[in-house]
Amino acid sequence: MKMSEEKNLFYKFLLWREDHIKEKHFILIISFLVGICTAVAALLLKQMIHFIQHLLTGNFVEDDVNYLFLLYPVVGILVTGLFVKYIVRDDISHGVTKILYAISQRKSRIKPHNMWSSIVASSVTIGFGGSVGAEAPIVLTGAAIGSNLGRLFRMEQKTLMLLVGCGAAGAIAGIFKAPIAGLVFVIEVLMLDLTMTSVLPLLISSVTAATMSYIFTGTDAMFKFSQTEAFMMERIPYVLLLGIFCGLVSLYFTRVMNHVEGMYRKLGVYWKKFVVGGIMLSVLIFLFPPLYGEGYDTIGSLLNGQFLNIMDRSMFYSLNDSYWGIILFLTLILFTKVFASSATNAGGGCGGIFAPSLYLGCIAGFIFAHVSNFFPVTMYLSEKNFALLGMAGVMSGVMHAPLTGVFLIAELTGGYDLFLPLMIVSISSYITILMFEPHSIYSMRLAQKGELLTHHKDKAVLTLLNTDSVIEKDFQAVSPEMSLGDMVKVIARSPRNTFPVLDERGVLLGIVLLDNIRNIMFRPELYNRFHVSKFMVSAPAKIVLNTPMDKIMQIFDETKAWNLPVVDGNGRYVGFMSKSKIFNSYREVLVENFSGD
């Protein structure tokens, strides 16, 4: 009874809101609520990670081997894997990819459990040493908050898409204290169009979340960075070379991660993945302790020129004073980080590649400058400046998001004086990887399936089209043995001019076109002499079920046909698609999702 009364009150509120608050104003109110909720979620996640890490590693010795590095990561991904498998019972990995899929294929609807499940799972994974980042899980959490708040207040699909973007922007702004980066991330990575109707809600969520973070954690940038060496224009050629190097590092990270994740998928059984992933992760972290967790301590050290303690807590502690020892140690980390991150997620953990890309970029930039300074023929390069630039370079390359890389690193570190070289390294890295990979690590899985929403409006609308909704099934099927007389009877009761010819298993053999038999269908003396097999023809093309809509339109353009048969993977007839039906659906989706842009 009480529940019913609460529902009635809520429905009354919805009716009151419709009468007294304009839709565009109410969206701004919800975007403000989204900003507050995502900031709270981001702060909670960071606190949980730091608490677990301090609890487990606070007493570790700096100048000796710590064998618990072999145990903690395995426990973390085991607990996380069991939590996901038996409590959540849903796949929560690849958070940003899930958001892209929800926008493209699920009408921006994200399951309610994503508002909390990623926080729990990623805090355990990373707190126990999983070599991944907390940013993708919190972005999924923020997007889920936006989606479910929108659904609670009965917002339409176009508004839901915007609120998903608000949640993601708020999450980035809240966890990094970077409001501009939150806005740019939504545009570049989630590929939402920036319009006059969308920019204000996105800004409100970003600024609100960042303000909340400032209130509770102070106004200092996430990484302390002081530029003690001014950037000289003569160093621009080196910045360009760094950008190319970061692009190649990004390509290595992307390709290897996809390959390693594919190998884990082939293992099939969860426990096999856990054993292989756990062993790989624990051994790598034991050998290279900086791989433990997000790696932000290492980033902080390199940005402040404190690289001499980089091998603390490892068996290589005695090499801290060795020039080439440090370079070799960091180079090995550069190559093995991708294996540690892949093993974390594939073995049952939960985390993203945001932090790993920042981590690799910082190391790549430091190595580039450190090695260059060894040769007397080159000018001196500030190692901490180039470590900062490398962060922007690898992030831009991995995510295919140069603007996000520029603004995020500037806001993360306060390194606004390096804006020009940040832009140069980000653009050159992005162009380098674009020559080899047209899609980011987040979007390539969806792009391969034709499920990716892009800034190209025609492609975006086609992606949003539901293939099943444009398949027509009111065509009368005939068999190849049917006589012309029986065919005429079928024509008399059919509203269509095309007839699929099927065998006894339902496999499409061809089609009969009314225009092709018009000259004989009114001659009764031929009714028993001709059979369908005699006058059926092949279809100009067949559309296989689940073919991406943009490919289907390409087939229509190539064949110049207006109707094409649809078959399943075994060639069995499903129905027909017509170009006119697709055009009508296109217009409906365009009006529903993009009106007002």
339-397: pLDDT as tens digits:
999 999 988 899 888 889 999 999 999 999 988 888 766 778 888 889 999 999 999 99
Q: What is the model's pLDDT at position 246?
A: 96
Q: Do 469 and 445 share a structural domain?
A: no
3-27: pLDDT as tens digits:
566 667 777 777 777 778 888 888 8
On whether the CB atoms of residues 224 and 303 are closer than 8 A, the answer is: yes
Model confidence at 320: pLDDT above 90: no
Q: Do 183 and 257 share a structural domain?
A: no
- Top-confidence residue, 594 or 406: 406
Please, is 526 exposed, middle or buried when counting C-beta atoms within 10 Å of its C-beta (0-12, 13-18, 19+)?
A: middle
pLDDT, mean of residues 309-327:
69
Whether residue 348 lies inside any domain: the answer is: yes
237-256: pLDDT as tens digits:
999 999 999 999 999 999 99
CATH number of the domain that residue 170 is part of: 1.10.3080.10
Residue 378: which residues within 8 A CB-CB, separation 6 or more?
Answer: 238, 372
Q: Do 585 and 555 share a structural domain?
A: yes
pLDDT, mean of residues 300-307:
81
Whether residue 228 lies inside any domain: the answer is: no
Between CA 174 and CA 211 the distance in angstroms is 8
Q: Do 476 and 366 share a structural domain?
A: no
Please, is 2 exposed, middle or buried when counting C-beta atoms within 10 Å of its C-beta (0-12, 13-18, 19+)?
A: exposed
Task: Select from 435, 455, 475 the last residue of a domain.
Answer: 455
Whether residue 519 lies inside any domain: the answer is: yes
Q: Do 477 and 451 share a structural domain?
A: no
Task: Select from 432, 455, 478 the last residue of a domain.
Answer: 455
Q: Do 185 and 71 share a structural domain?
A: yes
| Nearest alpha-carbon partner for 459 in 550, 594, 548, 558 | 550
On whether the CB atoms of residues 589 and 464 are closer than 8 A, the answer is: yes
Q: What is the model's pLDDT at position 154?
A: 79
Q: What is the model's pLDDT at position 452?
A: 45
Taken in order 306, 310, 313, 315, the sign of the CA dihedral is negative
Q: What is the 3-state secondary structure (H, E, C) of 289-342?
A: HHHCCCCHHHHHHHHCCCHHHCCCCCCCHHHCCCHHHHHHHHHHHHHHHHHHHH
Whether residue 223 lies inside any domain: the answer is: no
Q: Do 486 and 434 share a structural domain?
A: no
Q: Give the model's confidence band at 116: pLDDT under 50 very low, under 70 low, under 90 confident, else very high.
A: very high
Q: Do 145 and 270 share a structural domain?
A: no
- Top-confidence residue, 585 or 123: 123
169-217: pLDDT as tens digits:
999 999 998 899 999 988 887 777 667 777 899 999 999 999 999 999 8
- C-alpha distances out from residue 322 to 280, 295, 307, Å: 27, 22, 11
Q: Taking phi first (over 0 means left), then psi (-120 to 50 degrees means alpha), and beta for anything else, what does residue 227 get?
A: beta
Domain with 182, as residue range(s), is: 2-217
398-414: pLDDT as tens digits:
988 899 899 988 888 87
Q: Do 501 and 367 share a structural domain?
A: no
154-171: pLDDT as tens digits:
787 778 888 999 999 999
569-590: pLDDT as tens digits:
888 998 898 776 776 655 555 4
Q: What is the model's pLDDT at position 519?
A: 82
> How many domains does the structure of the chain reveal?
3
Model confidence at 458: pLDDT above 50: no
Whether residue 503 lies inside any domain: the answer is: yes
Identify the residue whose tokens are 């618990």: 68
Instruction: Give φ, ψ of 103 to 5 degrees.
Output: -65, -40
Whether residue 209 lies inside any domain: the answer is: yes
The 3-state DSSP class for residue 478 equals strand
Task: Select from 151, 183, 217 the last residue of a domain.
Answer: 217
Q: Do 319 and 273 share a structural domain?
A: yes
431-449: pLDDT as tens digits:
999 999 887 777 665 555 4
CATH number of the domain that residue 466 is part of: 3.10.580.10
Whether residue 408 lies inside any domain: the answer is: yes
Largest CA distance in the chain: 102
Between CA 364 and CA 584 the distance in angstroms is 51
Q: Do 54 and 193 share a structural domain?
A: yes
Q: Give the tokens for residue 54.
A: 């301090």
Q: What is the model's pLDDT at position 450?
A: 46
Q: What is the model's pLDDT at position 446?
A: 54
46-63: pLDDT as tens digits:
999 999 998 988 777 666
Q: Do 463 and 421 share a structural domain?
A: no
Whether residue 225 lies inside any domain: the answer is: no
The whole-model pTM stands at: 0.75
Please, is 219 exposed, middle or buried when counting C-beta atoms within 10 Å of its C-beta (0-12, 13-18, 19+)?
A: exposed
Percent of the chain predicted with pLDDT > 90 = 35
